């Protein structure tokens, strides 16, 4: 054994074994199950069933539409908020308070956060009361059980990821670049467009990809805010495992979701590579 190999094996044997036993092996079991009959014969039937069923296409479409809209809204709200926290706030205690406000939800379970929105978005919830009080609507709107309700909950849960990612990128932009740009006669808007925005783009893309992944695979928030009226893909998977007990078909659904999500993320990653945008 070479001089490097021995310590590496000593250090990595246990973690590698653990991951093989409780991560790679389970994933392999799902993959194999998705390609076999309950009797163990190889088959593509489960995937063909997914492809043939238009219901699955509808669910996929809803899931990815919710994912894309969540990401878009998070970017539109998150970028200005990150800008505000990094560039505008000068009063330190207030900024600290804002950062804490941003992080507290991350430390609270999705259940609690979604439950908060269940209370707020109910027929007689604060949101409806407020909208009626402002004279914007006459009768209570239905939020629970609608895509809008799910979007409000998911954006809430995922917004901190974008703000932190963009905020980190903005905080790293060297102030000298801005001074140079201004000295050379660029307007603030011009400096933003040509210097700051491109430099914050990697952070923005990383945050957006993270948000999209989490939104597409979210289970708890859609389950609670859909009131059973809207089905997203993770609910299909959960049903197969917890009530239908068709592990082969559930496996095929799992692999389908995994492959689609990773493919879209890979495409987004490619598009955001420097020099391609």
- Please give the size of the binding site for other proteins, defined by CB under 8 A: 92
Q: Which of 64, 143, 156, 161 binds other proteins (CB under 8 A)?
A: 156
Q: Which of 189, 243, 274, 275 binds other proteins (CB under 8 A)?
A: 189
Q: Which of 70, 71, 110, 181 binds other proteins (CB under 8 A)?
A: 110
Which residues are CB-neighbours of 114 under 8 A, at least 6 positions away?
153, 157, 220, 221, 224, 225
Q: Which of 105, 140, 145, 202 binds other proteins (CB under 8 A)?
A: 105
Min CB(263)–other proteins separation in Å: 12
Q: How far apart are CA 18 and CA 186, in angstroms?
A: 56
Q: Which two tokens stand for residue 261?
A: 């999500």
Min CB(255)–other proteins separation in Å: 8
Is 250 among the residues that bind other proteins (CB under 8 A)? Answer: yes
- With 0-12 / 13-18 / 19 or more C-beta atoms within 10 angstroms meaning exposed / middle / buried, residue 219 is middle
Is 177 among the residues that bind other proteins (CB under 8 A)? Answer: no
Residues 107-144 as b or e (16 or more Cβ within 10 Å = b):
eeebeebbeebbebbbeebebbeeeeeeeeeeebbebb
Q: Which is nearer to other proteins, 18 or 57 (CB)?
A: 18
Residues 129-148 that bind other proteins (CB under 8 A): none
Q: Which of 36, 116, 182, 268 binds other proteins (CB under 8 A)?
A: 116
Is 107 among the residues that bind other proteins (CB under 8 A)? Answer: yes
Is 91 among the residues that bind other proteins (CB under 8 A)? Answer: no
Q: Which of 83, 147, 148, 201 binds other proteins (CB under 8 A)?
A: 83
CA neighbours closer than 13 Å in the CB half-sphere of residue 245: 0
- With 0-12 / 13-18 / 19 or more C-beta atoms within 10 angstroms meaning exposed / middle / buried, residue 98 is middle
Min CB(7)–other proteins separation in Å: 7
Is 226 among the residues that bind other proteins (CB under 8 A)? Answer: no
Q: How many Cβ atoms are within 10 Å of 100's Cβ, its own excluded? A: 9
Q: Which is nearer to other proteins, 65 or 172 (CB)?
A: 172
Q: Which two tokens stand for residue 212?
A: 């999209």
Residues 1-40 that bind other proteins (CB under 8 A): 4-5, 7-8, 10-12, 14-16, 18-19, 21-27, 29-30, 33
Q: How far apart are CA 74 and CA 157, in angstroms?
A: 10
């Amino acid at each position: 054994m070479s001089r490097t190999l021995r310590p590496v094996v000593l250090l990595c044997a246990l973690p590698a074994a653990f991951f093989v036993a409780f991560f790679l092996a389970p994933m392999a079991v799902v993959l194999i199950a998705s390609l076999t009959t309950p009797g163990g014969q190889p088959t593509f039937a489960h995937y063909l069933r997914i492809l043939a069923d238009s219901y699955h296409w509808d669910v996929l479409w809803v899931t990815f539409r919710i994912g894309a809209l969540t990401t878009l809204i998070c970017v539109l709200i998150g970028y200005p908020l990150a800008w505000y926290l990094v560039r505008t706030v000068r009063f330190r205690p207030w900024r600290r308070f804002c950062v804490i406000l941003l992080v507290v939800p991350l430390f609270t379970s999705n259940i609690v956060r979604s439950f908060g929105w269940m209370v707020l978005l109910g027929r007689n919830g604060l949101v409806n009361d407020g909208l009626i009080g402002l004279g914007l609507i006459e009768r209570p709107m239905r939020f629970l059980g609608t895509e809008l309700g799910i979007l409000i909950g998911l954006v809430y849960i995922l917004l901190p990821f974008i703000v932190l990612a963009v905020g980190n990128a903005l905080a790293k932009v060297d102030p000298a670049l801005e001074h140079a740009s201004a000295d050379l006669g660029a307007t603030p808007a011009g400096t933003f467009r040509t210097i700051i925005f491109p430099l914050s783009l990697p952070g923005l893309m990383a945050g957006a990809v993270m948000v999209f992944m989490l939104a597409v695979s979210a289970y708890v928030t859609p389950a609670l805010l859909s009131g059973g009226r809207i089905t997203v893909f993770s609910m299909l998977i959960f049903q197969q495992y917890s009530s239908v007990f068709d592990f082969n078909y559930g496996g095929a659904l799992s692999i389908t979701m995994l492959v689609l999500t990773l493919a879209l993320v890979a495409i987004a990653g490619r598009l955001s590579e420097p020099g391609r945008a």
